[in-house]
Amino acid sequence: MQVSFTSAEVAVLVQSKASRGATTETIRGLASLARAEPGDLSFLGNAKYKAEVAATAASIVLLPSDYTGEPRANQLFLFVDNPSVALARLCARVEQSLWPKPAPGIHPTAHVAPGAQVAASATVGPLCVIETGAVIGDRVHLQSQVFVGRGARIGDESWLMPGVVLAAECAVGRRVRLQPGVIIGSDGFGYEFVQGRHEKVPQVGTVEIGDDVEIGANSTVDRARFSRTVVGEGTKIDNLVQVAHNVTIGRHCLLCAQVGISGSTTIGDYVVLGGQAGVSGHLTIGKGAKIGGQAGVTQDLDPGAFVNGNPAIPLQLERRLVVLTQRLPELFKRVDALEGRPA
């Protein structure tokens, strides 16, 4: 961290409601409770770590209002509604210092084809390629070595990091962040089996990414066979996730790392998928459903369903079956005994 804060500045930034103790240290770093040193700020974001507060060397600790312990010497407790949200406010302030807005303009090493429209307030970094007919909105940042295909569109204030590929005709909303290596608009995986060979079904649709979406490093979103693959407003996708052709993902979903969604599946708003989970094709996942890590979903899910396992079943049942399966050695012995077999 290359910025520093006094305790008074921190108190204002985190919207602290009460405090206990005091520190003369200037805050120059952020760290977990266990690793913090004097000069660091820390926080209690997960009750699991409550016992670590008493021993932390952090100079400032952000705590929930109901925390009852006392600070050490030269240590300040700041009480806030939600320590994680408070920390996020502080981090946002740090982020502004660390990654200042780039200056507008097109780097001389970038290749912008005739017929592309780039807003005067946009930044096109080194060695980017923008093909004809593409439209780049206000204050968009194409960081470095980005590819924007023919006729693709990028909404205002979006940030495409190094190595992102946005293929022809695909559209990205406003304030979208695409992490490095994201591919939007690769061909969907569609073939017809004709006379012993897989004949390609041309994929002539597009991809539409809503406002405020974030997509993680090296994730892939395929273009539709025809019509559109859709990622809804506010949805957040982690690294190495696969979204197949003609999928529709609702608004404000969370897809953890290495999730895979098969073709033509529709996912409602506020759905959460744990890491490495997979969803079969042509399914409908209801609003607010929760899918556990590594789960394999093979059937439609009702709104609010919470499933786990492969094939995925309701969490309560899955937990019970895991326990009973671990008791199989005992059950076999009990059946042996009922049959009069020796132990």
Restricting to residues 93-152, which ones interact with a copy of itself according to CB under 8 A? 94-95, 98-99, 107, 109, 111, 125-127, 129, 144-145, 147, 149
**Contacting a copy of itself within 253-312 (CB under 8 A):** 254, 256-258, 260, 262, 264, 275-276, 278, 280, 282, 293-294, 296, 309-311
The answer to whether 69 contacts a copy of itself (rule: CB under 8 A) is: no
Q: Which among 268, 316, 269 is positioned nearest to 292, based on CA atoms?
A: 316
The answer to whether 79 contacts a copy of itself (rule: CB under 8 A) is: no
Query: How many CB atoms within 10 Å of residue 132?
Result: 14
Q: State the nearest-atom distance from the C-beta of 69 to a copy of itself, in Å.
A: 22
Q: Which of 9, 52, 187, 300 binds a copy of itself (CB under 8 A)?
A: 187
CA 93 centroid distance within chain: 20
Q: Which of 20, 28, 50, 252 binds a copy of itself (CB under 8 A)?
A: 252
314 cis-preceded (ω within 30 degrees of 0): no
Stretch that binds a copy of itself, among 8-16, 62-70, 72-80, 182-190 (CB under 8 A): 182-190
When the beta carbons of 83 and 286 are compared against a copy of itself, the nearer one is: 83
Q: Which of 74, 204, 302, 303 binds a copy of itself (CB under 8 A)?
A: 204
Q: Which of 21, 29, 39, 105 binds a copy of itself (CB under 8 A)?
A: 29
Q: Which residues contact 338 (CB under 8 A, 6 or more apart)?
A: none
The answer to whether 167 contacts a copy of itself (rule: CB under 8 A) is: yes
Q: Which residues contact 337 (CB under 8 A, 6 or more apart)?
A: 343
Q: State the nearest-atom distance from the C-beta of 18 to a copy of itself, in Å.
A: 21
Q: Which residues contact 169 (CB under 8 A, 6 or more apart)?
A: 149, 150, 151, 152, 185, 206, 223
Query: Quick check: 239 and 179 in contact, CB under 8 A?
Result: yes
When the beta carbons of 91 and 135 are compared against a copy of itself, the nearer one is: 91
The answer to whether 165 contacts a copy of itself (rule: CB under 8 A) is: yes
Burial of 21-34, coded b for 16+ CB within 10 Å and e otherwise, reads bebebebbbbbebe
Q: Which of 227, 284, 300, 315 binds a copy of itself (CB under 8 A)?
A: 227
Residue 252 known to be catalytic: no
Q: Please state, in angstroms and rounded to a whole number, the distance separating the CA atoms of residues 224 and 188.
A: 6
Q: Please state, in angstroms and rounded to a whole number, the distance separating the CA atoms of residues 185 and 219.
A: 11
The answer to whether 326 contacts a copy of itself (rule: CB under 8 A) is: yes
Q: Which among 87, 90, 77 is positioned nearest to 32, based on CA atoms?
A: 87
Q: Please state, in angstroms and rounded to a whole number, the distance separating the CA atoms of residues 300 and 163.
A: 36
Q: Please state, in angstroms and rounded to a whole number, the distance separating the CA atoms of residues 82 and 16.
A: 10
Catalytic pick from 107, 198, 245, 282? Answer: 245
Q: State the nearest-atom distance from the C-beta of 236 to a copy of itself, in Å.
A: 5
When the beta carbons of 76 and 241 are compared against a copy of itself, the nearer one is: 241
Stretch that binds a copy of itself, among 10-18, 51-59, 64-72, 158-166 (CB under 8 A): 158-166
The answer to whether 1 contacts a copy of itself (rule: CB under 8 A) is: yes
The answer to whether 17 contacts a copy of itself (rule: CB under 8 A) is: no
When the beta carbons of 121 and 218 are compared against a copy of itself, the nearer one is: 218
When the beta carbons of 12 and 337 are compared against a copy of itself, the nearer one is: 337
Q: Identify the three-state secondary structure at position 317.
A: helix
Q: Which of 135, 201, 283, 315 binds a copy of itself (CB under 8 A)?
A: 201
Q: Identify the three-state secondary structure at position 23.
A: coil
Please, which residues bridge with residue 147 across strands? 129, 165
Task: Please list the active-site residues.
Answer: 245
